[in-house]
Structure 1
Amino acid sequence: MFRFKSKAAADVIYMPDAAQQVLAALGREPAREGIIELADLPAAQRALLAAVEADEAAFAGLVAEAEAQGEPAPRRQGVTLKQRVWPLLDMLRLSEAERADVIWQG
């Protein structure tokens, strides 16, 4: 498990596969430990939002392609990236407001 911590918010916990996906969205190496410093919090938020937008656009493309071919639209399976990053995005926002770094340990 990976645990993201901040003095400004409750811990956010991810299973290893989910943590890898979130760290990739952040543009971070999948290290067992790391930090997102206060100065990097706005960029981290933008990176997560951009990753969510890209994921949503890719799925919308699949839906449009299926509809164009007269096939039923695909359905999302499991937890979406948008759902997965929401707690961490909230932590990043609170941490920025409280001027606190975010660390993770896995």
Structure 2
Amino acid sequence: MLVKFISSETGEMVMMADVARPLLQAMGKECLARGVITQGEMLLAAEALERHVEQGSAGEQLPDEEEEAEIPPMARPVGLKQRAWPLINMLRRTAASRKESRILWEAAADFETDPRA
């Protein structure tokens, strides 16, 4: 399922629900079909997300340099840091804009739990 993030200042961004779920949860948000991040929450959410990324990156199993050289660039794993950066950027840029700015997200349904679990 796709989750669309819509910023009043930076435009739209789309990601898969299984990627959006841990990012929203790290910001203290429920993974409902629709939600909002208000102006007052944005910088705190960006900081929480950055902490989560740093903690998660420390435990990620990434290939070493020799293994990575053998993997074609398009087949290399994408880590949490690379997936979270666009949302962190959206949060910071939107927070630095007008007082009434906000970020909304919408999906086809709630995605609080992983349907594969």
Give the TM-score taking structure 2 as reference length.
0.72
Distance 1:28 1:78 in 2: 26
Indicate the residue corresponding to 2:45 in structure 1: 44
Q: Which amino acid aligns with 2:57?
A: E
Matched position secondary structure for 2:78? coil
Q: Which residue of 1 aligns with 2:110?
A: none
Partner Cα distance (1:52, 1:16) in 2: 17
Residue 114 (structure 2) aligns with: none
- For each residue in 1:42-64, what CA deviation from the matched residue of structure 2 results, as whole angstroms up to 9, or x when unmatched? 110111101111012223xx68x
Question: Quick one: which amino acid aligns to residue 88 of structure 1?
Answer: L
Unaligned runs of 5+ in 2: 69-75, 108-117
Partner of 2:16: 15
Aligned length: 96
2:77 aligns with: 78
| SS, match of residue 48 in structure 2 | helix
**Do structure 1's residue 101 and structure 2's residue 102 form an aligned pair?**
yes
Q: Give the CA RMSD over aligned residues.
A: 2.3
Structure 2 letter corresponding to 1:5 = I
Secondary structure of the structure 2 residue equivalent to 1:98:
coil
2:115 corresponds to:
none
After superposing on structure 2, the runs of 4+ consecutive aligned residues of structure 1 that deviate more than 3 Å are none
Between Structure 1 and Structure 2, the one with more helix by share is: 1
- What is the SS of the residue equivalent to 1:19? helix
Q: Which residue of 1 aligns with 2:56?
A: 55
- Measured in 1, the distance between the counterparts of 2:12 and 2:19 equals 15
